[in-house]
Structure 1
Amino acid sequence: MSSQPSAVPPARTDSPESERTLEQAQQLTDVITRLRRALRSSIRTDYPWESLPMAQVELLQTLAAAPLRVGELATRQRLAPNTVSGLVGKLLDAGFVDRQPDPGDRRTARIALTEAGRRQLNDWQQAHERRLADALRGLGEADCQAVMNALPGLELLARALSTTPPEDRSH
């Protein structure tokens, strides 16, 4: 019989507060997953031209600020460099990004949005904003306000998740 530890250790539930927090995290995970899936599905139904995978869209969003090297993109997206290289290759083929010389290191290149990439990203953003605006208009005023009131907390949560390294659970 193998005594290897499992890849994901069981969650600790040392107290009722821990259990409640875990339940809240599970509910939030479920809602976020369903929200993303519903949004992607409705966008593809309403806007059939929208076919970019989310990972490619996220790279375009990151590159909208400034050109970056593949390694920098990988770090910011928390992906393996070879994964980012593959995504960049698809975006290069589509004409949404191009390679530019890196002024700091002539041996490397920076990836930059092309004008077509900026248009695609803008179209994607506008389609999502229209779809969400339509859905918000379909909610009652109190429900719409509840969603809007949750935004500051969700923003703080997003920042906490993006700046906090994953917890080391091996100890």
Structure 2
Amino acid sequence: MESESFPEALADALAGVQRLIRRRLRSGTTAPRLRGAEVELLRLVVARPGIGVSEAAKELYLAGNSVSTLVNQLARDGYLNRETDPADRRAARLLPTPAADARLRDWRERRTALVRRQVARLDEAERAALEAALPALRKLAVNLHEEAEET
């Protein structure tokens, strides 16, 4: 039986780890800082080149005008290209630039190295506990995603 405080403690721990990873990665780059939503949009476009603005907004649970603003900023900064959708001339398809690919690759490599160093500092039992928790954490993410789609 889970304690009453477990959900809050889990949410706090996950948010704290994510926040500290972002801060550490931010301090190690000379490139202009990207906000969380900008990184999420870039990651989505790299994973699904050609995605439309409205589909990206739906996927990220953001308003269409918010995604349009992000697209404009990322295009201005050289991270995204917009192409007219041949199936609907009013719509735009989003494509990552080589600069976006390089920026995300660098971010992933630095994030992996950071987490690897910190996990190595844990004892064997702590590392095993984290690895054993991964399937449950992935399922939690799926559940959160599905619940968001229902609303």
Q: TM-score by structure 2 length?
A: 0.90
How many Å separate the matches in 2 of 1:101 and 1:28?
Answer: 44
1:85 maps to which of 68, 79, 83 = 68
Larger radius of gyration: 1
**Structure 2, unpaired ranges of 5+:** none
How many Å separate the matches in 1 of 2:28 and 2:80?
Answer: 26
Deviations 1:28-61 (A, max 9, x none): 1111111111111111233344721111111111
More helix by share: 2
Q: TM-score by structure 1 length?
A: 0.80
| AA partner of residue 43 (structure 2) | Q
| C-alpha spacing 1:166/1:116, structure 2 compared with 1 (3 Å) | closer
**Structure 1, unpaired ranges of 5+:** 1-16
1:55 correspondence with 2:37: yes
How many Å separate the matches in 1 of 2:110 and 2:138?
Answer: 22
Q: CA deviation at 1:165?
A: 3.2
How many Å separate the matches in 2 of 1:117 and 1:34?
Answer: 27
Counterpart position of 1:26: 8
1:143 correspondence with 2:126: yes
Counterpart position of 1:116: 99
1:159 correspondence with 2:137: no
Q: CA deviation at 1:89?
A: 1.2
| C-alpha spacing 1:165/1:50, structure 2 compared with 1 (3 Å) | same
How many Å separate the matches in 2 of 1:142 and 1:113?
Answer: 41
* Percent identity of equivalent pairs: 33
Runs of 4+ in 1 over 3 A off after TM superposition: 46-50, 165-168
- RMSD of Structure 2 on Structure 1 (CA): 1.9
